[in-house]
Chains A and B, each alone.
Chain A
Amino acid sequence: MLSPLLLICLALLAGALLACAARPAEPQTLGLVEQIDALLPQTQCGQCGHPGCKPYAAAIAEGAAINKCPPGGRQTIARLARLLNRAVVPLDPEHGAEGPRRVAFIREAECIGCTKCLQACPVDAIVGAAKLMHTVISAECTGCDLCVEPCPVDCIDLLPAPSAWQPVAVNDSPARGTPLIGSDRGRGLTT
């Protein structure tokens, strides 16, 4: 009579212990919006139609499409799709095309020091003061394009960002016209 009771007690105790152990040590601290925001490229360019990356992240969490971010491109869409368990879709051309990273460049001789671009820059990457020349801190520039429009003298260009890594050319595919197998010669079965 005693042993079944003892066993039941033991089982309950073990169950409680297991339940304690199974609980994650630290609850998930990042919310869904933060997780989505972490995958967005943070250019704050507004090309998606939202006033920044965080608002777009919030919109995605509410169910908005994940293919509205041209700076992030294919890779961001793939990562978002994996996080949210949605289908990978091509970039929506309505919001722009994917391109290489760019940085703003102020033609300093033409700058009149109006500070309009300073106020437009979402990441404070332009330095300058009223009636003094402005310049872009290119390491901090996200290439968002927002400074170009307010400039009254059109002295801001977006140039391709310099890349520290020059990709090495890899000759991977067989040269055209190389017969793969000796007997392919003369049969037109070349790559």
Chain B
Amino acid sequence: MSLPTSPRARMHGGINPPGNKQQSLRHPIRRLPLPPQLIVPVQQRGEPLPELLIGIGDRVEKGQCLARGRGERAVSSHAPAAGVVTDIGAQPLPDDQAGGVTCVTIATEPCVASARCLPPLDPVECGNEMFLQRLRDAGITGLGGAGFPTHAKVRAAIGRVETLIVNATECEPFITADAALLQERAADVLRGASLLLQITGATRCLVGIQDDAPAAIASLQAAMTDARFQLCVLPARYPHGAEALLVHVLTGREVPMGRPAIDYGVLCHNPATLHAVARAVLHGEPLISRVMTLTGAALRDPGNYDVLIGTPVAVALQACGLDEWQHSRSLAGGPLLGVELQQATVPLIKTSNCILATTEAELPRPPPSQPCIRCGLCADVCPVRLLPQQLHWFWRSGELDKAASHHLEDCIDCGACAYVCPSTIPLVQQFRLAKTSLAEQCARQRQADRARERFEAHQARVATQQRLDEQRRRERAALLQRKQAEAAARTETVNAVTASSAPSPQDVIAAALARVQARKAAKRTAEPTALPPEGEAPP
């Protein structure tokens, strides 16, 4: 039993929407009946296709590994129940508007055999590598919202953090999954936290929780025996759960936008993730189910359920007694950050912490927006101290540069501004759109810079090529000239030699004729003694 510590800083602004948490906290965590079909995502967003270990038509056991991730950050996926694989292919997910990710569809069979487990690890004996490999093999990703692979986050934190923060501030209305988990399984959560303390070398663990979950606080206090653990109870206020804000409130350190809290000596985890870590390491259980809140006025039996990953939303809602007549829409997540589900066939995934099936009376659609009256309420509630109305005007006039200079990119999409706006302007939706456009502009600028570089390289290459060609041509011309000159010089010398020493053909002929004449003359002088000439014959 330890006394709660007080927070180090106060969050700026924030809102106090009606909690609506009691509906789902009336019962303990229950199990849903086995759905006839499970759609299990086996690929994480932005990761390559995993190595599939099963094929269509294969029988799988509960807990059997379906696919092993190939990427650096990818994790394994497991069969949440026994059955036969009927399909492998891209399926839409609740957090996904376009396209889908690879999923394995299993037609389930009721089976009494317990889940196939990995051997339990001894956290003292096993090294860091084995521990991280276990997190990966058990398919553990962050269960809070972003779904970041836990092994990658812990690896980055080893030796660099001194504080572990358990983010149990479920600040959004309706959601009670973490509160229910802490009420019933606080010891497992804290066991997971102490495992991470041991691996990362952090010296203390701060558990941040809001005062609207008294049962969870009592259960945590009862389970806290270690002096390294401190409970910090915050007044209920939205959005305490945003990581950077919680780090600031609990430790007094401000984490700049876009930087991981690990760089500032803090590792932040959700209690459900820590629970899964403890189950995976100490009991060898892969992550095949999670506690989630199924609530809303359209459900006859709202509550927290231990749901198998891959259960279709429609099946889960039917099991809780969905009133089709009253039901207006379903949100994945809470009323402020949730995404409206377009189709009920999507499966519940590891990051789904709440499905809100509401009626028009409970969560009416916002009325049409009216012009901004510059009341300034939005600036009062903005937890990151932006000026939403100013950003709104910049967005209206298309001046994204000015919006960027007013730090639009620091907006955490919490929606507090849109909640308080008396003109019901969809501010947060506008900011999301503006941020998308800004990101596109930045990408364009990068592309322009790259094009400039490539163009300059191209110009330089063309210039070099031209220079080289020119040089070669000049060299060739020079060579040709030299050769011609040489040839000319050679013929001239030959002529000169002939002119000076060698006899001309006429001379040679003349000389030969002279020689013949001389020989004839010599013969004639020798003849008269032996033989008289024909003309002087004796009578």
Residues on A lying within 8 angstroms of B by beta carbon are 37, 40-44, 52-53, 75, 79, 101, 121-125, 140, 142, 163-168, 170-175, 178, 180
Contact = CB atoms under 8 A, between A and B. Distances in A.
Interface residues of B, number: 30
Given A124-B454, A142-B451, A173 B440 contact: no
Contacts of B447: 142
B368 A44 contact: no
A170 B401 CA distance: 20
Contacts of A41: 444, 448
B454 A123 contact: yes
- Interface majority SS (helix, strand, loop, mixed), chain A: loop
Nearest to A142: B451
B457 A168 contact: no
Contacts of B454: 123-125, 140
Contacts, number: 69
A178 B367 CA distance: 10
Contact of B451 (A140, A174, A178): A140
B370 A168 contact: no
B329 interface: no
B45 interface: no
B443 A164 contact: yes
A174 B370 contact: yes
B221 interface: no
B449 interface: yes
A165 B426 contact: no
Contacts of A42: 448-449, 451-452, 455
Nearest to B400: A75
A167 B98 CA distance: 11
Nearest to A122: B455
B455 A175 contact: no
Nearest to B436: A165
Contacts of A171: 426
Nearest to A144: B451
Interface string B400-442: 0100000000000000000000000110011011001101110
A172 B426 contact: yes
16 contacts: A41-B444, A42-B452, A44-B455, A75-B441, A79-B401, A124-B454, A140-B450, A164-B440, A164-B443, A165-B439, A168-B432, A170-B426, A170-B429, A172-B426, A172-B430, A178-B368
Interface string B443-486: 11001111110110110010000000000000000000000000
B369 A165 contact: no
Contacts of B430: 170, 172
Given A41-B444, A42-B449, A122-B458, 11 more contacts: A42-B451, A44-B451, A53-B452, A123-B454, A123-B458, A140-B454, A142-B447, A165-B436, A167-B437, A168-B97, A168-B429
Nearest to A137: B454
A19 B432 CA distance: 46
Nearest to B425: A172
A124 B457 contact: yes
A175 B368 contact: yes
A166 B98 contact: yes
Contacts of B97: 166, 168
Interface centre among A40, A42, A163, A180 (most CB of B within 10 A): A42
Nearest to B368: A174
B433 A52 contact: no
Contacts of B457: 124
A182 to B, nearest CB: 12
Contact of A174 (B98, B369, B443): B369
Interface in B354-408: 368-370, 401
B435 to A, nearest CB: 10
B452 to A, nearest CB: 5
A167 B439 CA distance: 11
A171 B451 CA distance: 36
Contacts of A167: 433, 436-437
B451 A43 contact: yes
Interface centre among B430, B441, B450, B451 (most CB of A within 10 A): B451
Nearest to B449: A42
3 tightest Cβ-Cβ pairs between the two chains A and B: A174-B368, A42-B451, A123-B454
Contacts of A123: 451, 454-455, 458
Nearest to A174: B368
A9 to B, nearest CB: 44
A79 B448 CA distance: 15
